[in-house]
Structure 1
Amino acid sequence: MTRRARRAAPAIVALLTAALLAGCGLVSSSGTFHSAKLPDGDRPLAGAHLTVVSKSFTEQVLLGKITATYLAAAGAEITDLTGAPGSASGRQVMVNGDADVTWEYTGTAWQAYHGQTEAISDPHELWQRVHDLEEKQGLIWLPPAGFNNTYAFATSRRNAERLGVHTLSEVAKLPVHERTFCIDDEFFSRADGMRPMLEAYGVPFNTPDGVPQNNVTRMDSGVVYSATAAGKPCNFGMVYTTDGRIQNLGLVVMQDDRKFFLPYNGAAVVQEATLRKYPQLRGLLGEIAGRLTDEGLQQLNAKVDIDGQDPADVAYDWLIEQKLVVPD
């Protein structure tokens, strides 16, 4: 299979390359993706020049590669800036108008970009509120995809059966010595993290009849998954709901039945001017969004993080499997 590479504007490349070399997470083959074409041979974006940007963690790189590959198959000339480190740089090039398309999360925009503190549990309401805020900045949020990469707690299948729990309310009713948790430092200190979550479920942190301090173990987020699968030192671990390790390790995600965690539904975001010029982007990006689910992204993420496959390969194979593209 052949590859296409497009050169980004020198100033943007210099900025992102410097940041990537600083060691901010996964670095994919930015600028490269597989060549393909639409099944009917149509090129609705012929003549378009579009820049696709993503953050640097696995799921974002995959979404960027899927988008770059598909829009190029539709005839666009693509500048591929997938793998921008952290939220800041990818966000900045969108706000500055230096990129045309990205994927974002409703909870991230609501809290991190707009500083909102109101807890909104309804996914569509949150998307609409974010859509309206972002539109004022010239960014259009297309309807959300069917995945929600939010916080959750999981346990091993063995512990789920042993303890008879499937919801966080049931976890809160367990004997105190069974309410053991593994989390990372960030989640421990977040305003929407461990302490307020325990309060919401009626088992306050560091109280004898709630969750004693010794019941919470802080560790690197990557270690949380294996510790949770092993059941030592905790029965329950903080996870991200689309992480590939959930399926790989056979973890059971506890239902957030009191809807404490903010939705982090993914959506394609397009520059308003770009969308006016190429309204066909709505339908094309909608084809991608309509096929993305929590379980599907768990599988795609696992192919990169566990099987070691290249994100560009995984993205191309998924588009072929979904019959969105055919080999060029």
Structure 2
Amino acid sequence: MRRARFGAALAATMTLLLTGCGLVSSSGTFHDASLPGGERPLEGASLVVTSKSFTEGVLLGKITATYLAAAGASVTDLTGAPGSASSRQAQLNGDADVLWEYTGTGWVNYHNQTETIADPQELWQRVHDVEKADYDLEWLPPANFNDTYAFAASTPTAERLGVRTLSEAAALPVAERTFCVDDEFFSRSDGFIPMLEKYGIPYNTPNGVPTGNVTRMDAGVVYTATAKSEPCNFGMVYTTDGRVKNLNLTVLEDDRKFFLPYSGTAVVRGEVIEAHPELRTLLGTISERLTDDLMQELNGRVDIDGEDPADVAYDWLRSENLIE
């Protein structure tokens, strides 16, 4: 399912009612708030918001739960469901109403497709159509962030080598084509070795990328190794990971469009959005504000600074004047 990420989500078994502290709770917590002007377009609606357990998933769930509750809905917070399958299955079973998903996950993991569709809008449309037909799930228009695979270099190294794209990295002398990857990405059918083929520098060839130019390590260590440019100039990253900004990494453009888009998308059960069409506008208001840079910042506040996802979600909504 969706790739596992570092950072702990909130515990899924919390049942205390904390309304006296300005929080509401089921399995998780979020801050009480209201829309500017006191509008309550979801008055009377009862909604269950779930999320996957990695940091970004929990953040998106907390933002959604906080905002929909501010709009008047009675929200049950099931964010941080362990594993991708449990949140997905909860929605398929009708036990959860709103879940943030990724178009690449829908295409590859849920529908077993192998075709690489580089255009984010086309991929979203294909996933939207099959999910609606098969499961009556409504994939709303995607947000402006793409949490996909990429390669990055430390900013000083990128400047020294004069590279901003993967094609420019592929054109470097063989000795400079050094990579850090984790085992999972190395062995994926849509991972490292096919990527090198796409860029004309095949693995285990003298004029491509010799085996000695590749170091396999834990995904978390890749970031620090890349920041130090030791033992590699280029490391595999996720484009919205907070460590990209924190470690001053430069993400290289995938100019040959190898990597599948993983656009973040709010997914709502069909009968729920039919009963509450206001969800389209409300969730669209969130989606249109979410960018790669913003998600790097928000993820970093949790994973690097140690802030609570509920606090980060509330602060961001306040900063956007979406709640008060």
Partner of 2:255: 257
Q: Give 3-state SS (helix, strand or coil) of 1:132's partner.
A: helix
Which aligned pairs between 1:21-32 and structure 2 lie closer than 5 A? 30-32=27-29
Q: Gapped runs of 5+ residues in structure 2?
A: 1-19
CA RMSD, Structure 1 to Structure 2 (Å): 0.9
Which amino acid is the alignment partner of residue 116 of structure 1? Answer: Q
Q: Give 3-state SS (helix, strand or coil) of 1:37's partner.
A: coil
Moved over 3 A (4+): none
Q: Give 3-state SS (helix, strand or coil) of 2:72's partner.
A: coil
Q: Does 1:209 align with 2:207?
A: yes
Partner of 1:246: 244
Q: Percent of aligned pairs with the same residue? A: 69
Count of aligned positions = 304
CA distance, structure 1, for counterparts of residue 109 and residue 160 of structure 2 = 39
The equivalent position to 2:96 in structure 1, one of 92, 96, 99, is 99
Q: 1:225-244: per-residue Cα shift (whole Å, max 9, x none)?
A: 00000000100000000011
Please state how far the C-alpha of 1:2 moved relative to its aligned partner: 3.4
CA distance, structure 2, for counterparts of residue 145 and residue 125 of structure 1 = 14
Partner of 2:297: 299
Q: Does 1:120 align with 2:139?
A: no
Which amino acid is the alignment partner of residue 307 of structure 2? Answer: Q
Q: Does 1:43 align with 2:62?
A: no
Please state how far the C-alpha of 1:86 moved relative to its aligned partner: 1.9
CA distance, structure 2, for counterparts of residue 79 and residue 206 of structure 1 = 52
CA distance, structure 2, for counterparts of residue 140 and residue 6 of structure 1 = 26
Please state how far the C-alpha of 1:6 moved relative to its aligned partner: 3.7
Q: Give 3-state SS (helix, strand or coil) of 1:90's partner.
A: helix
Which amino acid is the alignment partner of residue 173 of structure 2? Answer: P
Which amino acid is the alignment partner of residue 314 of structure 1? Answer: V
CA distance, structure 2, for counterparts of residue 83 and residue 215 of structure 1 = 38
Which amino acid is the alignment partner of residue 22 of structure 2? Answer: R
Q: Give 3-state SS (helix, strand or coil) of 1:297's partner.
A: helix
Preserved contact between residue 2 and residue 35 of structure 1 (Cα < 8 Å)? no
Q: Gapped runs of 5+ residues in structure 1?
A: 8-29
Which amino acid is the alignment partner of residue 282 of structure 2? Answer: L
CA distance, structure 2, for counterparts of residue 152 and residue 256 of structure 1 = 7
Which amino acid is the alignment partner of residue 281 of structure 1? Answer: L
Which amino acid is the alignment partner of residue 231 of structure 2? Answer: P
TM-score (norm 2): 0.92
CA distance, structure 2, for counterparts of residue 2 and residue 290 of structure 1 = 31
Which amino acid is the alignment partner of residue 108 of structure 1? Answer: T
Q: Does 1:4 align with 2:23?
A: yes
Q: Give 3-state SS (helix, strand or coil) of 1:125's partner.
A: helix
Preserved contact between residue 24 and residue 32 of structure 2 (Cα < 8 Å)? no
Q: 1:157-187: per-residue Cα shift (whole Å, max 9, x none)?
A: 1111111111100111111111110111110
Partner of 2:159: 161
The equivalent position to 1:129 in structure 2, one of 117, 126, 134, is 126
TM-score (norm 1): 0.91
